[in-house]
Amino acid sequence: MHRNAVFPNRARHERAGWCGVRRRVWTRRAVACLFVAALLGLTAACALFPSGIGPGGRVFQVWALQDPQNQPIIQAALDSFNKTSTTKGSLTVYLNDAYKQKLQVSMGSPNAPDIFFNWGGGNLAPYVKAGRVATLDDALSENPSVKNAFLDSVMKTARIGGHQYGLPINGIQPVILYYNKAVFAKYHQQPPRTWDDLMTLVDAFKTHGVIPLVLPGTQAWTELMYLEYLLDRVGGPGKFEAIAGGNTSAWHDPAMLRALQLCQDLAKRGGFGTNFASINYDNTGASALFAQGKAAMFLMGSWEYTNQAQRQPDFFKSGNLGFTTFPTLTDGAGNPKDIVGNPSNYFSVRAGGRNTQAATTFLIKTLKSDAYVTSLVSSGQVPAIKGVNAKFAGSPNANFLNFTYDMANKAPAFTQSWDQALSPSVASELLTNLQKLFLSDITPQQFVDAMEKAQ
């Protein structure tokens, strides 16, 4: 009894001693075996599938955005390329918001995609500076028909330091003022031509309980479109060029202050309704409000046209989707034909990958090919190809296509979306401060003070 109390576990210990040693040896052996097996497995897997090579030949990776409009077109182009090529292309798609992070992380690693989607400008530049992007200069000079096929104003956005680092993969995307014809007809209104017209419309629609301009303010890039257009209307494209060129004091330009004030006044006047800061674009909330006639107008990129066609087919077929240019400012210095938006999206090729050659060949063969361009046009886009308007005849979207083509063709300046043109860190500050400005949390002066400090 006593002994047990003092050494309660002694007997068990002694017995376990012998078995324990044996068991430990066995455990150790088992662990060692497992470890070796795992190592062998890993090496075998690596030997069988070095990066870029799957079973049955080489594969080059293509990264793009999840997008019901362009994804099938890119996939079809890859399928047809894969039929004849020994190196096959494989498409992976990502959601818009997550994509930039995913790309940045992978571009810093050895597992970067061979072809990657980008917006050109400030979005592409850091990768070029880090030496991660292959120049397409040689391939283009070998294929002058490809080089000369694209609109130079669009190619320019993917040209950095005089070298071409990307080719346009889809339509030009100017920002367009859409309006709901049914709502306008019901209240006997005409689409606005000048900023004053727009103010009159805002007041008129407000009294009828219709949101004058639907604004998905949870995503600040939709607010940015107003500022981009207004700064150009007030002061011309040079004002933003100065900022994009790195001149931080250019934020303090009186034209910028006036444009910011106009944005804030429009929000205060109720131009966007009272709850715009809760409205979302990605969940199609804004598009639905507009299609249902709860909102009269919608300032959005040209992609909204196909978006409406796919997500709001009844409204789209009713023929009530109207489109026009952004209003002019009677006392503004900017050319009323100037436009803003995304010149296009681009595919760029990673430098130093083992599939650079195949990836480049795919781009050169595909992007200006008749099949590719035709499928872009039939999806309602205007490809950045010279003379592409010859393909519009007979298309059900001919009206819209011609409108977009003329808009881009006649524009003296096509300013790239600021959040794509500026560096990511400045763009992120810009979007945050813009939300505050639209909510009147800060004044235009506080906005420019904050932006001047951003780097």
Chain contacts with other proteins (rule: CB under 8 A): 7, 13, 100-101, 104-105, 107-108, 126-127, 130-132, 217-218, 220, 273-280, 283, 285, 288-289, 294, 424-425, 427-429, 432-433, 435-436, 439, 441, 453
Nearer to other proteins, 9 or 86 (CB): 9
Contact 344/159 with Cβ under 8 angstroms? no
Please, what is the end-to-end C-alpha distance for the chain in angstroms?
A: 78
Distance CA 109, CA 106 (A): 5
Of 118 and 433, nearer to other proteins (C-beta) is: 433
8 Å CB contact between 125 and 424 = no
CA dist 428 and 442 (Å) reads 17
Strands 321-324 and 211-214: unpaired
| Pairing between β-strand 173-180 and β-strand 321-324 as defined by DSSP bridges | antiparallel
67 or 419: CB nearest other proteins: 419
- Which helix (H) or strand (E) element contains residue 356? helix 356-366
Query: What are the distances in angstroms from CA 392 to CA 303, 355, 396?
Result: 17, 36, 9
Task: Kindly calculate the radius of gyration of the chain based on its CA atoms and give it in whole angstroms.
Answer: 29
Rounded least distance, CB 275 to other proteins, Å:
4
Nearer to other proteins, 7 or 26 (CB): 7
Nearer to other proteins, 249 or 280 (CB): 280
* Cβ-based nearer residue to other proteins, 143 or 435: 435
Q: Which is nearer to other proteins, 201 or 437 (CB)?
A: 437
User: Which amino acid, one-letter code, is at 136?
Assistant: L
Provide the minimum distance between the beta carbon of 107 and other proteins in the complex, in angstroms, as a whole number: 6
Minimum CB distance to other proteins, residue 128 (Å):
10
Report the residue number, 122 or 327, with the smaller CB distance to other proteins. 122
Asked if residues 119 and 127 have their Cβ atoms less than 8 Å apart, the reply is no
Shortest Å distance, C-beta 142 to other proteins: 29
Residues 220 and 281: their CA atoms lie apart, in Å, by 10
Residue 68: CB partners within 8 Å, gap ≥ 6? 310
φ/ψ of residue 191, rounded to 5? -60, 145
**Burial of 3: CB neighbours in 10 Å, binned 0-12, 13-18, 19+:** exposed
Minimum CB–partner distance for residue 182 and other proteins (Å): 18
Report in angstroms how near the CB of residue 213 gets to other proteins at its nearest. Answer: 15
User: How far is the C-alpha of 315 from the C-alpha of 354, rounded, in Å?
Assistant: 48
CB of 430 to other proteins, least distance (A): 11
Q: Give the nearest distance from C-beta 285 to other proteins in angstroms.
A: 6
Q: Give the nearest distance from C-beta 436 to other proteins in angstroms.
A: 4
Which residue lies nearer to other proteins by CB, 190 or 207? 207
